[in-house]
Chains A and B, each alone.
Chain A
């Protein structure tokens, strides 16, 4: 899918839409993403009233409920600044589904369209807008990258995370088998169809481990929750105390590799 976003100059300010998962479950990833952006000389604004993009309800078929939550987010970004989202699936929701969600409400539709045009997934923003060239200051390290299906197929930004990692001199990025296949998260899918979702994450973790990478990084915390949750469950079953597949958000990894929080 092509990305109609047009951002030509380097902005001085951006909004940060953390997503509910990052706010509650991966706050460190959110903080690292903000720090990373600030280190590029950008003022990062975190609208205090943000909650959730509405995707859980939307993809579960509860459009009215999704609309109600999405309508609230529409009010949070009054200035014409880019909206950076550390998640491909939430960015995809705001970029591609908000305009459709408010199709019947001309006022909100116009707001949704203006918002949609300003939404960036984090790695996309770093590469396409900031042309971020990370200076690696870490030692040799082997990582594997998992890209979410939304980032890949909805946002079409499956190459930006890879590009950022490729810029790190001492980091080698290995490729897992069936790289483009879904990890099995899919929001409520993981609880409504636990057998199938479980089989998918089992295969995904197996493929990630088979690369021999030290850690998995991803720009989507939904996938990470699923992948790391399964790896930790395996460790628990096997009585291991050290994680057999450590992982983190790509923002945390990038920040640490480029000098930490300083």
Chain B
């Protein structure tokens, strides 16, 4: 796998970034409010627990069925898209994907691209690559437009600008959009964005989009959205380039309704999104609009590594609804930017190590209390806590030959391993445990007043003067 230059903040600054958010009461309150809102919207969509459970089981079965046949389905998708007139490209790395996309754009002498929401395009940092090549890459999803205008990255995969208040956006627009006065009226702000972007939709030669589901049997790309910018990007410009991870395939069209229903209900608590856009070919002779060319870029970027391991493969079941982050007490405390990865929250913690290597992400695996809220709401039943434990294992074990993951052992420390070996020696032997715990109760007044991170907000831990086994002896 070739190395590539990414502009993400390294995950090693994670603790400092999370501290900055945790120490900001305003941000804390704002994330809490937003997540409460999304949680209650989702809950309202699933009033019947039986329906929810059976639909989640169906969603899981559909994703696992399709992943099991993934290589065959990719070939079937490619064959059917090609038959329909869509050009299919394959990229192993972000660099390859950028090269393909810029090649298509430059091949047409184009300079203006409008983008629908695509987390995969964030993953490959397409905007950086386009900018370097002198191509304007304009985000058109309102949230993405806002974060791009602010020079930031999305902090949530569904609601990119969830970390911003309307007042901040009002100041941003007044400062960055020519001819706009300060207004914090949300409708007015949306109209400003609409007017700017409508001009761009007319001018752009290239429209870029992500893909929510690709259907192999028909050769169809499905896009889920509310705003209509996705339809604009895939209809108005002369060239449409779609990019997706290789895992987002289903064999059968009938797999779409359950997944689509799980997606919108879990993500934003909508029974359905405003638009479901199914694209099967470029403009045909006689048709009066739609792109003359449609391209699909299939990106691996570490997904095949996750695929190779039966347990880690479950990571690829994800349909990118974001419910895990909405329900995550850690995400709620620190927001999306602290993670420093394209995909934040629980799903980010389990998918990013495959994309960036465990060397860059080992620290993120510890940022979970394993409370299980993510796994509980996941619409396709990804066992996220179990996968986090597995990733901790991969990160902290001593480096060994033929690892399942790039960067295996990156978090290994001889001291930490020795501590756990010592712990196991004590707790694996009743005699040693009795001796050590007895000493603990005798020497309880010697416990340090500072106990690492524990005592930053808690009183020190101190063993009781008598252990339960002592109390039981006293009693008899």
Contacts and interface: CB of A to CB of B under 8 A. Distances in A.
Contacts of A50: 430
Contacts of B424: 57, 62, 64-66, 68-69
B378 to A, nearest CB: 12
Contacts, number: 191
Interface residues of B, number: 63
Contacts of B430: 48-51, 72
A24 B441 contact: yes
Contacts of B472: 31, 34, 46
Nearest to A75: B430
Interface in B426-476: 426-430, 433, 437, 440-441, 451-459, 461-464, 466-472, 475
B396 interface: yes
A190 B330 CA distance: 12
Interface string A229-244: 1101100100000000
A99 interface: no
Interface stretch (B111-119, B268-276, B302-310, B363-371): B363-371
A197 interface: yes
Contacts of A149: 369-373
A180 B461 CA distance: 25
B279 interface: no
Given A72-B430, A149-B373, A196-B330, A236 B396 contact: no
B454 A23 contact: no
A198 B456 contact: yes
Contact of B469 (A46, A60, A66, A152): A46
A68 B427 CA distance: 9
B22 A60 contact: no
Contact of A62 (B368, B420, B452): B420
Contacts of A71: 428
B471 to A, nearest CB: 5
Interface residues of A, number: 68
B41 interface: no
A132 interface: no
B371 A199 contact: no
Interface in A216-252: 225-226, 229-230, 232-233, 236
Contacts of A153: 371-373, 375-376
A61 B396 contact: yes
A139 B167 CA distance: 52
B417 to A, nearest CB: 8
Contacts of B367: 189, 192-193, 196
Contact of B19 (A56, A59, A66, A195): A195
A64 B423 CA distance: 12
Contact of B452 (A68, A186, A191, A232): A191
A52 B427 contact: yes
Interface stretch (B100-108, B128-136, B204-212, B387-395): B387-395
A89 to B, nearest CB: 9
Interface string B321-338: 000000001100110000
A18 B471 CA distance: 12
A25 B456 CA distance: 20
Given A25-B462, A150-B372, A194-B457, 7 more contacts: A52-B427, A56-B423, A62-B393, A149-B370, A181-B329, A196-B330, A229-B461
24 contacts: A20-B437, A23-B437, A23-B468, A25-B461, A51-B429, A56-B423, A60-B396, A61-B389, A61-B396, A61-B397, A66-B424, A153-B372, A154-B372, A181-B373, A187-B370, A190-B369, A191-B451, A193-B18, A196-B22, A198-B22, A200-B329, A201-B457, A229-B459, A233-B457
